C-alpha cells in the first residue's frame, strides 16, 4: 500500500511512502491474499491533532483485520503500530474485517 500526499493543486509522489506487513514495525507477515490496504482511512483517531492511518487487511488469515499507524508531526510512524484480526478479537470467521472503513 502506498500513501500519496496532496494539496489544493493535486496529488504528488514527492514524499510517498509504501507500507506492507513486511515493513519494519508493522505487525504480522505479508502473505498472498492478505490484501493489505483493501480499505484505508486517514483520521485523527488518537485525538492528538495528527492524522492516523487505519488500514484494512480484509484477507488476513481468511477473515480479515485492521491495522493502524500513528501520525506524528513528521508524518506516519510504524512505532507502536497495531493490528487486530478476527481471531484476535474473538469474532466468528467469515466477517472479512477491514473490507470497509468509515467514520
The pLDDT tens digits for 62-100 are 888 999 999 999 999 999 999 988 877 766 666 677 777
What would the mean pLDDT of 34-50 be, rounded to a whole number?
94
Tell me the pTM: 0.85
Please report the pLDDT score of residue 93 as a whole number: 63
pLDDT of 26 above 80: yes
Distances (CA, A) of 87 to 28, 48, 63, 77, 92: 13, 29, 8, 25, 8
Q: What Rg value do the Cα atoms of the chain yield, rounded?
A: 14
CA-based torsion, 96, 34, 54, 5: positive or negative: negative
Q: What is the pLDDT of residue 103?
A: 63
**Cα angle at 52 between 92 and 26, to 5 degrees?**
65
Q: How far apart, in whole angstroms, are the C-alpha atoms of residue 87 and residue 48?
A: 29
pLDDT at 39: 94
User: What is the model's pLDDT at position 88?
Assistant: 76
Amino acid at each position: 500500500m502506498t500513501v500519496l500526499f496532496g494539496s489544493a493543486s493535486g496529488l504528488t509522489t514527492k514524499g510517498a511512502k509504501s507500507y506492507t506487513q513486511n515493513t519494519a514495525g508493522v505487525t504480522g507477515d505479508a502473505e498472498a491474499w492478505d490484501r493489505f490496504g483493501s480499505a484505508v482511512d486517514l483520521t485523527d483517531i488518537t485525538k492528538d491533532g495528527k492524522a492516523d492511518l487505519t488500514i484494512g487487511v480484509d484477507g488476513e488469515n481468511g477473515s480479515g483485520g485492521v491495522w493502524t499507524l500513528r501520525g506524528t508531526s513528521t508524518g506516519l510512524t510504524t512505532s507502536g503500530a497495531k493490528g487486530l484480526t478476527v481471531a484476535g478479537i474473538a469474532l466468528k470467521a467469515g466477517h472479512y474485517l477491514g473490507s470497509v472503513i468509515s467514520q
